[in-house]
Structure 1
Amino acid sequence: MKRVMLPLIHRRGSRSHVTCEYRCGNACDKPVPNKSDNKYLGDIIQSALSRRNLLKGSAAGALVLSTGSMLAGATTAAADSTGNGAAKHGGGGGGGGFKLNSLKFDTVPPNSDDKLTVPKGFQQAVIVAWGDPIVPGAPAFNLDAQTPKAQEGQFGYNCDYVAVMPLDKDWSHERALLVVNNEYTNENNMFDGWTTGAAATVDQLKIAQAAHGLSVVEIERVGRTGRWAQRKKGSRRYNRRITATTKIQVTGPAAGHALLKTAADPSGRWVKGTIGNCSGGTTPYGTTLHGEENFNGYFEASGPVNSAYEAAFKRYGLPLAVNAGRSWARVDERWDVAKNPNEANRFGWIVELDPYDADAAPRKRTMLGRMKHEGATTTLSEDGHLVAYTGDDERFDYLYKFVSRDKYRRGHSRRDREHNLSLLDRGTLYVARFLDEQPGDTEYDGIGEWIPLTSDKESYVDGFTVAEVLINTRLAADTVGPTKMDRPEDVERNPVNGSVYIACTNNTARTPAQVDEANPRPANKDGHIIELDEAGGDAASDLFRWRIFLVCGDPTDPSTYFGGYDKTKVSPISCPDNVAFDKSGNLWISTDGNTLGSNDGFFAVPTKGAERGHVKQFLTVPAEAETCGPWITDDQRTAIVAVQHPGEGGTVAEPTSHWPFGGVPRPSVACVWKD
């Protein structure tokens, strides 16, 4: 992207105030948690480029090659990318006919309709909705008869990340497991007459807790179409709910540390529940990863908090004085940090789930650090090490990468399985620094480095032990000078050429003085996407080259950029959030908080060739909803999206959306396919 002067832009998007309150505690209206004085890219002097041999050796040689040369070496590593399952499952089945990766669809125009709008010639249907029974014996949805026990067996509330894990031994794409994050609840649309948690019944609070977490649902193809539906026959032995009270194991170097111990769990190795699960990822060995994001909003304080926790609590946005939160402490005092400060340290992790084993406890993998994880997506390095990328979804926070100590085993024995299930417990955690390759040049691009924070055996941050780096990752990262980003959210690796794409959703707090090349726009209300190539095409490299791929917004706005494509021919896009790839390497983008007067949507854009940067809108979601997921099935016949918080600004008595079945809105996972 050529450098231009990018203007100051108004900060507010289309998100409902209710969305901001329930999801992130109105984070944008509060002071930025990152008060570190690490420099912005524009302040870094040229001599920094010599750090850690950046300008010498074979790795640097790879960096100064052209982008095309780097991509040639990236293809092999990308063959095992599992960010959206496209390369992982082999891609058989499906036969001929229309394929989504052709991108041959009529663009859906911006709109504010209360429906899921899809291109001409396509159909859509709900696969599963909030309250649908998924565990055998669970009752049908009844808004007026909700109970904690019923919700524990029903599909959870707001649905974010979606994974489709195959059950077919012959890759025929007829049966699969749908694994979904249920991120948070909006009680206004769950309980008639809801006012606050303080005025709620204990049962209502328990229902809300049961609606959080994860849902695993067996699904099947409907006939020979691209439609998928919940499997009604059979044992449904895989279906399960993970909630805010499910027993979860803590693993990795921080497990058992004093900061994770509580009176209820003196071992520091078992946590009740997972919350705030936003995006996620899959692994080559068939597990799913789930990022605990806005966990801080669930904690409250009945009085002042121990001063020893002040620095960490401020950095993570946790309360230090009397704060009501969601009033969950009325159910369990562990949510009161004045009485149980360590409980907050037990959230903010990546949770790994084995969807194929309904009896296996989920695991919080401490080696990936504690932050507001948007998710974690994995790939394999050139020599077989597992690599996981994750963003810390906060204004001015950082991009991270984990590289396993041990190598992935491709075998299918029990021993191979156990080995692979330990990969996320040992390795090295890095944080990213983006550098201007040549200060004063005319492009928004550069080189960068992954700065090591800790291995499973040795901390690389002065004054922090291994466990302290992992528990207070933000504080540790602040000391080594990574680049402050505009809410780095989903990170995915292209299965065709190995490039890594980082969705930076927005950051309206960035001032002109804080602009740098990797975050080129002040008051960035519409977000942007960065394209990153690891040195030598190896995901385990500690060096990379980067460039701006998209600067989102109204195409008529001079500050926008669409990969060099003609801006008069693209769809307007705002606030990129979750991303996925199809098998041709086209990037699919879901949005959250569209500022351009339209509902949020789902977009496709080629990343190479003459069409590079040609953004096309594939669908829009209903009123006040956010587009989540997303997933393109391996046979390229079906797009699956999670429609989160439709009608978020309404109430049971006065709904502002009636999607999908009339009456109160119900967050749902839907599929779209060609007629």
Structure 2
Amino acid sequence: MPDIRRRLLPLLGHSGGSRDAMTCLYRCGNACDHPVPNETDNPYLGDVVSSAMSRRGLLAAGGAGALVLGLSSTPAIAATPASAAPAPVALKGGKAGPLTFKAIPPNQLDSLIVPNGYDSSVVIRWGDPVVPGAPEFSLGRQTAKAQSLQFGYNNDFVGVIPISDDRALLVVNHEYTNEELMFPGFTSLDALSVEQLKVAMAAHGLSVVEIERVGRSGQWTPVRSKRLRYNRRITALETRFRLTGPAAGTPALRTAADPKGYTVIGTLNNCAGGVTPWGTVLSGEENFNQYFVGGDAVPEADKAKLNRYGISTTARYPSGSRKWERAQERFDLAKHPNEANRFGWIVEVDPFDPDAPPRKHTAMGRFKHEGANVIVARSGHVVAYMGDDERFDYLYKFVSAGKYKKNDRRHNLTLLESGTLYVAQVKGDSPAAEIDGSGKLPSDGAFDGTGKWIKLVSGTTSYVPGMTAAEVLTFTRLAGDKVGATKMDRPEDVQPSLKTGKIYAAMTNNTNRGVGSNPGVDEANPRNTNKHGHIFEITEDNGDHTGLTFTWSLPIVCGDPAAADTYFGGYDKTKVSPISCPDNVAFDSAGNLWISTDGNALGSNDGLFATPIEGPDRGRVKQFLTVPRGAETCGPFITGDDRSVFVAVQHPGEISGATVDKPASTWPDGDYAKPGVVVTWRLDGGPVGS
């Protein structure tokens, strides 16, 4: 980049946040530098706010209102056509118990650190071969064709779907690229060649990789063979996606290249996800706004909709844009004004059918999806919980119209194409005067309250005045605004507990809370300038995941345990690990909550933490691992036998001033930083954590 921009980089995109400015630039297009997209003045009901096995994890959950599909495991799906009826089967084991590992201390080491008695290894890294015939990676001679066959960049969601006890499919999202850390001699995005832009497009998307267990241990490695049936790369460059549901084919989704509005090229900024009971993967399209330019030239009537999704309508080339319009003009809204509407969906990929086009489910709404995790309700309906990862945005759930059928995979593959979409509205149960922004507990000793799910749309019927069903689904944020949904502090991963059926959402942070004209604190977001985040727990009334009301609490308010504004479920704070910026959550078979972090504001590397959420040790947070310098911890995924923990090490060495020529991290190979997926296991073969 030009010298002036490099000097300014430490100042861009921060706005008081804890991420490095380089991450802000490449991951979300300096979102914090732009106005908060939600400018509505939603009414507050008292104190209003709201907010398997992986973050990106599994879905069938236990509890009073859930149908249990195996013990804390993704289903083992046979290599059969969709019309077959594979039975969900857990991996043998599932014996996690109390968390007995010794917590590791915070650190700033350029290594992946695990507790004594554990080991770890890199499963796969950026540039490793995925599709048979992929060329060996060459840093100085990257091509889009080669990258389309190799493991992509900045892995985020991790899903592991068993084929047998010692074979599985690893499915990984590739959220975004950082060209400064990819291309030698980088000077600026404008100076990249068209071929380099296409390399970046090919490095986005997803990878499907067959992996195998090493001996009888918890270690896994890619299967090396010239005949790999399932291995696949899905990219932003050329993969065709099929739109499903009520909004598919409607005018807002039609373009000159796709006049019928049913086929989209590529997927963008795929963040978290989940694994369904029928063995598919859900992937959330998040910060898609940064890929588009030309918003200033769209029809005037469309500008408010673009603004609500963070797309500039005043600048031809907004700050932080990716420059992809130079490679494919569809990213120029002045020429293709509807193209942005084709992103921001939940994507479903069938890893067992490499010929099947991935689908974007319009019935599940369009916003900045962190991901989606599903649970089969007592009634048999599938319920997906989703967060919109933006300051002051909303928490959603989707209830399928059809019911899950255990032995009918073809039927289950249609469940997310039709249903009812809800948005959350919550309030606290303490006097407003007791919530003063300091994080001090109210007099009843807990941050808690009640909530309700507001129906937005069911099938082709809209419940939002002035909006059709297609409009509600395509511009879901505006629908949430109209019905008075609760503004939350960046709701990211949302995961059901396999033991209790309770729902856990990671509220990462919101340094805008209570600042200037932004909304102030309430019981569900009790701190001004919330830089450390918290965990939001939902208990659906009567254990009914299809119901309309729930109670909530904050079991963990993150930060330095020595600080007065933190809370760890009532547990002795002198005995817990400091934790900041929770991002993804997962569960082991014992019901322990595992939390990965993004943007640690306490001055140490990000990591993975675990804590019981029931019983006398509720809130006893212990740090399990740390990732290298500049990296974020993504995933995690705990296998159904509890013998392996997978995490994605995203953007190692992403520190202002670093380049691939002068890296700030040399993880994992000692030369330059490469994002990768890591597996950790106990040396004695026992369940991790216990």
- What's the TM-score once normalised by structure 2's chain length? 0.88
The one-character-per-residue Cα deviations of 1:355-403 (angstroms, maximum 9, x if unpaired) are 0111110000001100000000000111100000000000000000000
**1:40 CA displacement:** 3.6
Q: Does 1:490 pair with 2:463?
A: no
Report if aligned partners of 2:171, 2:207 keep a CA contact under 8 Å in 1: yes
- Percent same amino acid among aligned pairs? 59
Contact 1:642 1:668 in 2 (8 A): yes
Q: Which residue in 2 is equivalent to 1:660?
A: 668
C-alpha deviation, 1:41, in angstroms: 4.6
Letter in 1 for 2:678: A
- Does residue 236 (structure 1) correspond to residue 228 (structure 2)? The answer is yes
Is 2:590 the partner of 1:598?
no
**In structure 1, distance between residues paired with 2:187 and 2:332:** 21
Determine if contact 1:83/1:377 at 8 Å carries over to the other structure: no
CA distance in 1, matches of 2:299, 2:426: 37
| Matched residue, 2:680 | 672
Give 1:26's match in structure 2, choosing from 23, 30, 35.
Answer: 30
Q: CA deviation at 1:92?
A: 3.7
Provide the rounded CA distance (Å) in 1 between the counterparts of 2:621 and 2:681. Answer: 20
Instruction: String of CA shifts for 1:642-670, please: whole Å, max 9, x gaps.
Output: 00000012201110000000111000000
For the residue of structure 2 that corresponds to 1:75, the secondary structure is coil
**Aligned amino acid, residue 451 of structure 2:** G
Confirm whether residue 278 of structure 1 aligns to residue 271 of structure 2.
yes
Which amino acid is the alignment partner of residue 286 of structure 1? G
Q: Deviations over 1:512-566 (max 9, x none)?
A: 7611111111100000001110011111111101111110000011000001110
Unaligned runs of 5+ in 2: 1-13, 50-60, 77-86, 433-442, 684-690
| 2:418 paired with 1:426 | yes
After superposing the two structures, state which structure 1 stretch, 73-82 or 461-470, moved more.
Answer: 73-82
The answer on 1:328 being equivalent to 2:324 is yes
- CA deviations over 1:293-315 (Å, ceiling 9, x no partner): 00000111285332121110110
Report the Cα offset of residue 626 of structure 1: 0.1
Give per-residue Cα distances to partners, 1:190-209, cap 9 Å, x unaligned.
Answer: 10122222211011000000
Q: 2:170 maps to which residue? A: 178
The whole-number CA distance in structure 2 between the counterparts of 1:425 and 1:79 is 23
Q: SS state of the match for residue 120, structure 2?
A: strand
Q: Assess if the C-alpha contact under 8 Å between 2:506 and 2:535 holds in 1.
A: yes
Which residue number in structure 1 is paired with residue 4 of structure 2?
Answer: none
2:466 maps to a residue whose letter is G
The answer (yes or no) to whether the contact 1:42–1:515 under 8 Å persists in 2 is: no
Check whether the contact 1:74–1:538 (CA below 8 A) recurs between aligned residues: no
Which residue is equivalent to 1:136?
A: 132
Rate the CA distance shift 1:81–1:29 in 2: closer, same or farther, 3 A: farther
Closer, same or farther: CA 196–588 of 1 in aligned 2, 3 Å: same
Deviation at 1:94, TM superposition (A): 4.6
Shift of the 370–83 alpha-carbon distance from structure 1 to 2, 3 Å rule, reads farther
Instruction: State the shift of 1:13 in Å.
Output: 4.4
Query: Which of 487, 496, 509 is matched with 2:512 structurally?
Result: 509
Match of 1:149 among 113, 125, 145: 145
In structure 2, distance between residues paired with 1:652 and 1:491? 34
In structure 2, C-alpha distance between the alignment counterparts of 1:140 and 1:39, rounded to whole Å:
57
- SS where residue 646 of structure 2 aligns? strand
Aligned equivalents of 2:317, 2:276: Cα separation in 1: 39
SS in 2 for 1:314: helix
The structure 2 residue matched to 1:528, chosen from 531, 534, 539, is 534
1:349 match: 345
Normalised to the residue count of structure 1, the TM-score between the two structures is 0.90
One-letter amino acid matched to 2:284: G
Structure-2 separation of matches of 1:447 and 1:294: 30
Partners of 1:153 and 1:144 lie apart in 2 by: 17
2:189 to 181, 186, 197: 197
Contact 2:15–2:33 (Cα < 8 Å) also in 1: no
Matching of residue 264 in structure 1 with residue 257 in structure 2: yes
**Structure 2 Cα separation of the partners of residues 32 and 41 of structure 1:** 22
Q: State the alpha-carbon separation in 2 of the partners of residues 624 and 210 from structure 1.
A: 24
Q: Deviation of residue 91 (structure 1)? A: 3.3
**1:368–1:73: structure 2 CA closer, same or farther, 3 Å change rule?**
closer
User: Mean alpha-carbon deviation: is it higher for 297-306 or for 108-117?
Assistant: 297-306
Structure 1 residue corresponding to 2:406, chosen from 400, 410, 413: 410
The AA in structure 2 aligned to 1:37 is: D
Q: Partner of 1:58 in structure 2?
A: none
Residue 122 of structure 1: aligned partner? 118
1:2-81 map, 5 Å: 12-42=16-46, 74-75=63-64, 77=66, 79-80=68-69
Aligned to 1:91: 90
Deviation, 1:39, is 2.5
Match of 1:199, SS? coil
1:153-168 equivalence runs, <5 A: 153-168=149-164
Distance, in Å, in 1 between the alignment partners of 2:62 and 2:109 is: 45
Q: 2:62–2:497: 8 Å Cα contact kept in structure 1?
A: no
* Amino acid across the alignment from 1:484: K
Letter in 2 for 1:333: E
- Higher-helix-fraction structure: 1
2:449 is aligned to 446
Displacement of 1:75 in angstroms is 3.3
Query: Secondary structure at 2:147's aligned position in 1?
Result: helix
Query: Using the alignment, how far apart are the partners of 2:527 and 2:48 within structure 1?
Result: 18
SS at match of 1:203: helix
Aligned counterparts of 1:563 and 1:582: Cα–Cα separation in 2: 19
The whole-number CA distance in structure 2 between the counterparts of 1:286 and 1:410 is: 12
- After TM superposition, give the deviation of residue 627 of structure 1 in Å: 0.1
In the TM superposition, residue 93 of structure 1 has moved relative to its aligned partner by: 2.0
Q: Equivalent residue for 1:641?
A: 647
The change in CA–CA distance for 1:417 and 1:291 in structure 2 (over 3 A counts) is: same
Aligned AA (1:540): T
In the alignment, structure 1 residue 558 sits paired with structure 2 residue 564: yes
Contact 1:337–1:344 (CA under 8 A) maintained in structure 2: yes
Partner of 1:3: none
Preserved CA contact (<8 Å) 1:12 1:595: no
The match for 1:53 is none
Structure 1 residue 490: deviation in Å? 0.3
The one-letter code of the counterpart of 1:534 is: E
Query: Are the counterparts in 2 of residues 113 and 622 from structure 1 also a CA contact under 8 Å?
Result: yes
The alignment covers a number of residue pairs equal to: 629
CA 490–86 in structure 1, closer or farther in 2 if over 3 Å, else same:
farther
| Residues 214 and 220, structure 2, Cα contact 8 Å, conserved in 1 | yes
SS at match of 1:585: coil
Structure 1 gaps of 5+ residues are 1-9, 46-71
Equivalent residue in structure 1 for 2:380, among 376, 381, 384: 384
Measured after TM superposition, the shift of residue 223 of structure 1 is 0.8
Kept after mapping to 1: 8 A contact 2:381/2:402: yes
SS at match of 1:197: coil
CA RMSD of aligned residues (A): 2.0
- 2:239 corresponds in structure 1 to 246
Give the Cα separation in 2 of the matches to 1:270 and 1:82. 37
Answer whether contact 1:11 1:523 (CA < 8 A) is retained.
no
Secondary structure class of the residue paired with 1:531: strand
